């Protein structure tokens, strides 16, 4: 497509609602995915830290 002005570009030949809605939905879903991965990573690191602490504590108790 060839646009002669910014308003034509943003109108997308009459399909602006579909095009820009899709772009916004994609950005929103990618943002949600990033936040979800960060939360899962934080949770896994917390669980792993607890597991290491408990394992060390058990090893120390078995040695004594």
Contacts of 45 (CB under 8 A, 6+ apart): none
pLDDT at 61: 85
Q: What is the mean pLDDT of residues 3-7?
A: 87
Do residues 1 and 13 touch, judged by C-beta distance below 8 A?
yes
Per-residue confidence band for 1, with pLDDT thresholds at 50, 70 and 90? low
pLDDT at 45 over 80: yes
pLDDT digits (tens, 9 = 90+) for 9-26: 888 888 999 999 999 999
pLDDT digits (tens, 9 = 90+) for 25-42: 999 999 999 999 999 999
C-alpha–C-alpha distance, residues 21 and 15, integer Å:
10
């Amino acid at each position: 497509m060839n646009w002669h002005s910014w308003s034509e570009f943003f109108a997308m030949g009459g399909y602006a609602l579909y095009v820009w809605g899709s772009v916004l939905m994609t950005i929103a879903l990618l943002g949600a995915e990033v936040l979800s991965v960060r939360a899962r990573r934080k949770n896994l690191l917390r669980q792993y830290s607890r597991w290491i602490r408990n394992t060390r504590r058990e090893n120390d108790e078995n040695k004594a």
